[in-house]
Structure 1
Amino acid sequence: MLSVICESPGVLRVQQRDVPARGNGEVLLRVSRVGICGTDLHIFTGSQPYLEYPRVMGHELSAVVVEAERDSGLSAGDSIYVMPYLSCGHCVACRQGKTNCCVNIKVLGVHCDGALTEYLSVPAQFVHKAEGVTLDQAAMLEFLAIGAHAVRRTDVLAGQRVLVVGAGPIGMAAMIFAKLRGAAVTCLDTRADRLAFCQSHLGVDAAVAVGVDDAKQLASLTDGEFFDAVFDATGNIDAMNRGFSFVAHGGKYTLISIVPGQVTFSDPEFHKRETTLLASRNATLADFETVLEAMRAGRIPDQALNTHRMQLADVPDAFARLLEPGQTVVKALVEC
């Protein structure tokens, strides 16, 4: 089978490997689509701290079942999606149903080889039927579920004012699900093309460009009160630290981003606002189901989100172009 290996930062190669043998309790899959996300771009550029090379990237995937055990509930030919967070099932987090932050978590394409390959064998408990959606849509479930999880964790309510800082795919996912809950959503980003996309395709209520007067604009949009819920999806430590100042008194600040380093804030400001600070990591099966329900109802602009496509064999030559700002990439899908 054909696989794409990231041998070292900046080096991708096509390699022929044996089709994996299905292990006990596993499902053999023929990979159909793989979404490229920020994690993959960080692996390629050498800025993903939780990884050893070489690695087969890819954790956003849809596939078709080739072979499964009789009691798995799956049959050959089923269209499926994969929960790529391989949780242990017995740690302190898993016992509470918080499999997204499992102590022993292994993420496909990061801690173990992922989906940029033709066949993959995965433990059956992480394989789920993708009923009522296309294979393209199923491959976009994961990044949307991260946004849905952040919005659910923050308990966004109808009528609240929400700010999402960072208009990449994860930020866009948070915007989509905050809007679906009836919030008034503002996005803040450095890129005019991303802001325009959020207005034209996601229906955000306001879009503000990062600049010398952005704080004044945000204040004006909220009568000087700022936002009931602020989400950071930038992956930038300066933006994460600055975001505290945009939280209204009594509001919540949710960090979807993760960076190596220390998040700092003014304790007097934090205290007087009685700010709730939250981390949001990965997603749970309930969040995937939330996305599936919205997709089936036609409430996700998935065709607009899928801005780029490529074939698996073309990934080594085409991948670097996804990093070019002029490409205006939102979500690229690889066809296997």
Structure 2
Amino acid sequence: VFAAVFTWLNLRGIKTSARVNTGMAAVMSAVIVVVFIAAIRYIFGHPHNDPIFFTRPFYDPQTFTYGNLFGCTSIAVLTYIGFDGISTLSEEAENPRRNILLATVLTCLVIGILSAAEVYIAQLVWPASQPFSNPDTAYVFAAARTWAPLFGIVGFTLLVANFGSGFGSQIGAARLLYGMGRSNALPKSFFGAVDAKSRVPRNNVLFVGAIALLGSFFISYGRGIELLNFGALIAFMGVNAAAFMRYFVREPEKKISNFLPPILGFLICLALWWSLSRDAWIVGGTWMLLGIAFGAWKTKGFRSGAINFELPPEEEA
């Protein structure tokens, strides 16, 4: 049902997508404020004798292992996946060279701060000795512990959030495929076509919607996270490697500020990527090899460029 609804909405054009996303963001922001207020009142309204109560969410000596750390972090990475998808909407943005960069950075920062705060608050609310019956619904039960009506409110909000995630991801993926089709990295007649009225890559929206529909039947939520992380972490490693080459290797002045961030980013992503499950490696690795083989065939052994995301002059204006 979700796949059909957000496919229909995205086919109506980018303005409809923007209005729907704005409405959902407003609803979710209001709920986050209510959850924070209820959680803070609950925490300070219930005395505790734990000397490390406020630091336990960061480090619990009874349960901490490096395996758990990297395993959980690889799941948490999903929070950040997609912020760079804003760049796929550069053709719809005003002054894209400035606004897309600003929106991408701000989105990453805001999501990071909010996610960390929400998880920290939830861990303070829920007793450390009491495990969750279902990790997928843990936040709903933690919120309900602070105020009973939040069980339904947060549950509905998570539904809206998942809808919004799929809704935004679909148009981002469709635009990415359009860029590849326009550059003839994929068949241009199908992937490079745009609807004359809505200016939406209709074929790509339908294509991504069909994949989402099939995935909902055959891929579990946890497996989907790992597959997403497999590709995303490779992409993030590539970005860090490119930044290292551009701002350190090729610059005549070797600054430590241009060396440490990309190296640390690359190593952290590599460690998280390495900690993914065997199944994720098999499926993700197979898909990656197919992509490399297709790219090699398309570029005649990587002797020519496969894709160019630079905006044409008429679209940049």
TM-score by length of structure 1 reads: 0.24
Structure ID, larger Rg: 2
Richer in helix (by share): 2
TM-score by length of structure 2 reads: 0.25
